């Protein structure tokens, strides 16, 4: 199995990790309620998907 031959310096390791950033998920607008939602997911606000209401939204 592939194994690292040499240990990289702290500097090199940290430079690599400097590019590692958390990403915000891509958001789209719900066509029914215009709320921001995750793509390919049922809308959490109105419970609709592909123009149909698929789940009942329980809200306080």
Interface with Zn ion by CB under 5 A: which residues?
A: 30, 32-33, 35, 43, 45-46
Please identify, using beta-carbon distances, which residue of 3 and 33 lies nearer to Zn ion: 33
Q: What is the DSSP string of 13-46?
A: HHHHHHT----PPP-EE-TTT--EE-TTS--TTT
Nearer to Zn ion, 14 or 29 (CB): 29
Nearer to Zn ion, 14 or 35 (CB): 35
């Amino acid at each position: 199995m592939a194994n690292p031959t040499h240990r990289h310096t702290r500097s090199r390791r940290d430079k690599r990790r400097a590019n590692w950033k958390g990403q915000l998920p891509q958001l789209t607008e719900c066509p029914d309620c215009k709320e921001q939602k995750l793509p390919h997911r049922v809308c959490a606000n109105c419970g609709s998907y592909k123009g149909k209401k698929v789940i009942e939204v329980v809200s306080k």
